[in-house]
């Protein structure tokens, strides 16, 4: 069966069930009709034997004269509706019988079998002496004399009726089976059409056309409708997964290229100075000291970049494992950030406010890793210092907003375009490629590290900016604990 198509298997199954049902119905109807025919004949035989057994007589009837008159012999059985009557004496011997002359003796039941019929009115099946047919016989005791009267009738007509009924059932059942099978073939073809569409769509998707979808050919409430909807959802997710994978691979290629570029720059510097020393181009002690200082700076830069990359990889793999949490307040970090900015640029106005610039700084309790959280704030403050002109005002806001502790670093600098803002947290992205790079923090990893660390704490870093309107970086973390306990 497995080598057949679903359409053929369903058709064979339904046809088999239909055939079984028709056969069962035909068998039940034939059995009931046969039972009805036998009951009718039995009742007729009992009625005749009952009437004849009650006829008063002084002894067994003498029907010899009747047998000598054929016109009476032929008409009497037909008149009473029983083709064969037999009389038995008290000893069970046949004393006489009556049957139509058209019935040959060999077509009648043997007399020996008639003697075995019980005189209880129970119907008994007999075979003709020549085996040509079946008979039905009933015997009752007589009341006017000691003996038994037996009435018998052939089952030829009943069997012919049953045979005709069975033949008609077979023919009509066969015709009905053919018609229903043909109708079922086309109905299954129509019903399975959506499955063929699904098959063609799946084949197209397997061939690379991920945009294909299953046409909705059935009602959404049906099984095939549910299947089509589920498959379309799955195909959409599959297409998105492939698109995400392609985007991830593209980002990985860009990332590898950026890493290679960032690593190559300090390595080229180190190699250049060592080559100069090897070629003897640094004869003076002062030249050698200068080369060593440059090599040291490039080594520091290379180390910082490597540590930043390692931290990002660790945060991607197991962010929680990189944290040593303790209760603290973001106001501490806000105050430290204010002092750091003043040290970097004493001419820069720095304002410490609440979130959004409203009011004074408020408590912002968090449960976080102090070193990692300080790294986030340093990156945000360093970004404001590096990407705004000297003397540009900066606002640091801290407090709680809707159950979150918030620390903001907002500047009045040139701001960013929407495209730059969308990519601000990408690794190795720099909105201004002309800026110098003097460490891992300036290699385009600072904001990426800040966001990764914030998300490791269960929070995030968001950017609100517009060209010419400055930029506001907002660190949000889950508020935990009582500020008085921090």
Task: For the full predicted model, state whether its pTM sits above 0.75.
Answer: no
3 state SS of 4 = coil
Q: pLDDT tens across 334-349, in order?
A: 999 999 898 888 889 9
Half-sphere exposure at residue 256, Cβ-oriented, CA atoms within 13 angstroms: 5
* 374: confidence class by pLDDT, cuts 50, 70, 90: very high
* 247: confidence class by pLDDT, cuts 50, 70, 90: confident
- Range with the largest mean pLDDT of 64-73, 113-122, 465-474: 465-474
Alpha-carbon span 398 to 108, nearest angstrom: 120
| pLDDT (0 to 100) of residue 440 | 40
Give the other-Cβ count within 10 Å of 270's Cβ: 19
Q: What Rg do the C-alpha atoms of the chain give, in angstroms?
A: 54
- Say if residue 3 is exposed, middle or buried (CB neighbours under 10 Å; 0-12, 13-18, 19+): exposed
The pair of three-digit structure tokens given for residue 242, joined into one six-digit string: 């492939």
The pair of three-digit structure tokens given for residue 484, joined into one six-digit string: 């008085």
Domains of the chain: 6-162 (3.30.450), 224-317 (1.10.287.130), 323-485 (3.30.565.10)
CA 433 to each of CA 147, 292, 436, 467, 473: distance values in angstroms, whole numbers, following the listed order: 132, 28, 8, 17, 21
* 252: confidence class by pLDDT, cuts 50, 70, 90: confident
3 state SS of 61 = coil
Helix, strand, coil shares of the chain, percent, nearest 5, are 55, 15, 30
The helix (run of H) or strand (run of E) holding residue 405 is: strand 404-411
Q: Say whether pLDDT at 405 is over 90.
A: yes
3 state SS of 394 = strand
How big is the chain, counted in residues?
486
């Amino acid at each position: 069966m497995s080598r057949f198509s679903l359409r053929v298997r369903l058709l064979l199954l339904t046809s088999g069930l239909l055939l079984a049902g028709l056969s069962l119905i035909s068998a039940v109807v034939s059995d009931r009709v046969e039972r009805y025919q036998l009951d009718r004949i039995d009742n007729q035989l009992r009625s005749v034997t009952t009437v004849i057994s009650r006829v008063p007589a002084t002894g067994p009837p003498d029907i010899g004269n009747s047998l000598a008159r054929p016109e009476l012999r032929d008409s009497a059985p037909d008149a009473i509706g029983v083709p064969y009557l037999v009389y038995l004496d008290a000893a069970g011997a046949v004393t006489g019988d009556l049957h139509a002359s058209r019935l040959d003796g060999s077509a009648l039941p043997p007399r020996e079998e008639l003697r075995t019929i019980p005189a209880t009115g129970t119907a008994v099946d007999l075979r003709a002496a020549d085996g040509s047919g079946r008979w039905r016989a009933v015997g009752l005791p007589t009341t006017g004399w000691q003996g038994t009267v037996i009435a018998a009738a052939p089952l030829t007509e009943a069997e012919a009726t049953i045979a005709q009924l069975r033949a008609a059932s077979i023919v009509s059942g066969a015709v009905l089976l053919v018609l229903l099978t043909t109708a079922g073939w086309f109905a299954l073809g129509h019903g399975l059409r959506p499955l063929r569409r699904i098959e063609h769509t799946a084949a197209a998707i397997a061939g690379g056309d991920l945009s294909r979808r299953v046409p909705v050919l059935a009602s959404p409430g049906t099984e095939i409708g549910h299947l089509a909807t589920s498959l379309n959802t799955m195909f959409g997710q599959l297409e998105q997964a492939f698109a995400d994978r392609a985007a991830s691979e593209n980002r990985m290629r860009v990332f590898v290229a950026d890493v290679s570029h960032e690593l190559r720059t300090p390595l080229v510097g180190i190699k250049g100075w060592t080559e100069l020393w090897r070629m003897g181009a640094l004869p003076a002690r002062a030249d050698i000291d200068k080369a060593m200082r440059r090599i040291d700076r490039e080594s520091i830069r290379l180390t910082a970049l490597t540590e930043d990359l390692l931290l990002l990889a660790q945060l991607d793999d197991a962010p929680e494992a990189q944290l040593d949490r303790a209760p603290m307040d973001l106001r501490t970090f806000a105050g430290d950030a204010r002092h750091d900015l003043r040290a970097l640029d004493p001419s820069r106005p720095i304002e410490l406010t609440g979130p959004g610039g409203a009011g004074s700084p408020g408590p912002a309790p968090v449960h976080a890793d102090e070193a990692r959280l300080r790294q986030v704030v340093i990156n945000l403050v360093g970004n404001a210092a590096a990407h705004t002109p000297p003397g540009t005002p900066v606002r640091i806001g801290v407090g709680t907003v809707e159950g979150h502790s918030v620390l903001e670093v907002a500047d009045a600098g040139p701001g960013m375009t929407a495209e730059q803002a969308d990519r601000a947290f990408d690794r190795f992205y720099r909105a201004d490629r002309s800026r110098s790079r003097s460490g891992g923090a300036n290699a385009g990893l600072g904001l990426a590290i800040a966001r990764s660390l914030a998300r490791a704490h269960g929070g995030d870093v968001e950017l609100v900016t517009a060209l010419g309107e400055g930029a506001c970086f907002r660190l949000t973390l889950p508020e935990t604990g009582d500020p008085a306990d921090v």
